[in-house]
Amino acid sequence: EPEVTQTPSHQVTQMGQEVILRCVPISNHLYFYWYRQILGQKVEFLVSFYNNEISEKSEIFDDQFSVERPDGSNFTLKIRSTKLEDSAMYFCASSNGKTNTGELFFGEGSRLTVL
Amino acid sequence: GDSVTQMEGPVTLSEEAFLTINCTYTATGYPSLFWYVQYPGEGLQLLLKATKADDKGSNKGFEATYRKETTSFHLEKGSVQVSDSAVYFCALTSGTYKYIFGTGTRLKVLA
């Protein structure tokens, strides 16, 4: 069964360092997403991506964040200069349609710990 | 803005007990509603969904009914198993590109 894969599963970094989280969405999907969950809090939408551009982003997704689909298979989230409050589980998801018509398929998550 | 509120966990039940996990929502318009489940070490998986009022979503013995009058989408199962132990997330979308999730409710089922 096709699945969304994420790497790394856990990354520990120092505050101020750049981090890249990688995702391989399901191959025939066209919509890609990043969500995050700070421990004990809600799963929060960060950004959606379609047709090689951001289609929607939340207020959390500031200039420190960027997304890219560099090679037609990977979908990356970059945090330029990490802050302590960026520590969270980051989930990648993909779908083949808009959310109310297509199911979101999630990866297992990448846990980011900023020290 | 749109929001989802779930009951606090953890919920601990004995095997074969009845399960209810409450979920209420606030949304403009007519959202679609979902329950996602996260088993240990795995990503979120769609459990069931309902796209309009009075629809009932069901899967693997779980059910939830879209109640517009009470803005609720409570998850129920008549007889839980140990294998149902997981974190359950209620979510909604109003037809945009994003889901709004609740905080998740951890369920632990004891043999």
State pLDDT tens for residues A31-69: 999 999 898 788 899 999 998 899 989 999 999 999 999
Q: Give the Cα separation of A65 and B39 in Å (integer).
A: 29
Contacts with A93 from chain B: Cβ below 8 Å: 44
Separation between Cα atoms, residue B38 and residue B7, nearest integer Å:
16
Mean pLDDT over residues B72-100, rounded?
A: 91
Which of B99, B103, B105 has the most A C-beta neighbours within 10 Å, making it the best mutation to test the interface with A? B99
- Model pLDDT, residue A100: 53
Mean pLDDT of all residues in B54-68: 96
DSSP A20-34: EEEEE--TT--EEEE
- Residue B21 one-letter amino acid: I
Average pLDDT, chain A: 91
If you measure CA to CA, which chain A residue comes closest to B51? Answer: A100
Å from A71 to nearest chain B CA?
Answer: 23
Residues 38-77 of B with CB under 8 A from A: 41-46, 49, 51
pLDDT of res. A71: 85
For residue B98, give the nearest of A45, A91, A103 by CB distance.
Answer: A45
AA letter at B25: Y
Specify the pLDDT at position A101. 55
AA letter at A101: T
pLDDT at A79: 97
Assess whether pLDDT exceeds 60 at residue B77. yes
Tell me the mean pLDDT in the region B66-72.
96
What pLDDT does residue B2 have? 87
